[in-house]
Structure 1
Amino acid sequence: MLSEVGDTRIFGLEVIHETTEKIKVIKDKLKIAQSRQKSYADIRRRHLEFEEGDHRIGTSTYRIALPPNLSSLYNVFHVSQLKKYIPNPHQILSHESVQLKSNITYDPMPIQIIDRSVKALRSK
């Protein structure tokens, strides 16, 4: 098959070969990007497995027993949102009550102001 584009002649087999080569290059670049993304995700992925009595709902969700003041919250969480608690006998845990609004939000209160700065903007 022979076709003309302007003054140049392009043979059908050459077009097919050139397109095939470009597709191979694109596939190779996609494989490189996918492997880079996979290695990045594998570093940060952590496999968490909790004890038998931990109220597992599915392979990656758990039902958590919440204190009474948080009973209005949904108590099923994804594993990625949980951290395993390692008890420390020297650490004293204090529970603070949280006042929830009707839309299940709260206003966090600042504990301490650590730093102050004045931002100077360019004036034109």
Structure 2
Amino acid sequence: MIQIRDKLKAAQDRQKSYADKRRKPFKFKIGDKVMLKVSPWKGVLRCGKKGKLSPRYIGQFKIIKCVSSVSYKIKLLEELSEIHDVFYILNLKKCLAEESLAMPHHDVQIDEKLRFIEKHLSIKDR
């Protein structure tokens, strides 16, 4: 019984060491620029692109306040005012790109659940 417990403990420690090597610390400071993750919605075109090419993150938002160790308050634009401004840490990604490379917000329409809204286009007679 003791040998089984020791073997299980050794296996758990080994798996923990493998997982810890790949684990990244998620810490943001006030004033950091972050990008917001938007949820894919099956069958919806996002920004005119389908599948793998559609954007997963939008914007460059500034962190205003650290609400808890795993949630942050960010400054949203007026177009996204109906969305709550406190987000879980895994829905944020540190923005390392220049501001000129950020995706414009006016091209993206998002509902209150952070899903893209599909816009149908009509082709007029040439």
User: Normalization by structure 2: what TM-score?
Assistant: 0.51
RCO greater where, 1 or 2, for CA within 8 Å and sep 6 or more? Answer: 2
Unaligned runs of 5+ in 2: 32-62, 120-126
**Alpha-carbon deviation of 1:56?**
0.6
Number of equivalences: 86
Task: Show CA shifts across 1:11-31 (max 9, x none).
Answer: xxxxxxxxxxxx112212221
**Alpha-carbon deviation of 1:58?**
1.2
Contact 2:108 2:116 in 1 (8 A): no
User: Normalization by structure 1: what TM-score?
Assistant: 0.52
1:97 to 71, 84, 108: 108
**Which position in structure 2 is the counterpart of 1:121?**
none
How many Å separate the matches in 1 of 2:91 and 2:71?
10
Contact 1:69 1:97 in 2 (8 A): no
Contact 1:66 1:75 in 2 (8 A): yes
Output the aligned Cα RMSD.
2.9
The structure that has the greater radius of gyration is 1
Give aligned-pair identity as a percent.
Answer: 34
**Alpha-carbon deviation of 1:107?**
4.5
1:49 to 21, 27, 33: 27
Unaligned runs of 5+ in 1: 1-22, 110-124
Residue 92 to residue 71, structure 1, CA distance change in 2 (3 Å): closer
**Which position in structure 1 is the counterpart of 2:84?**
74
**Alpha-carbon deviation of 1:69?**
2.3
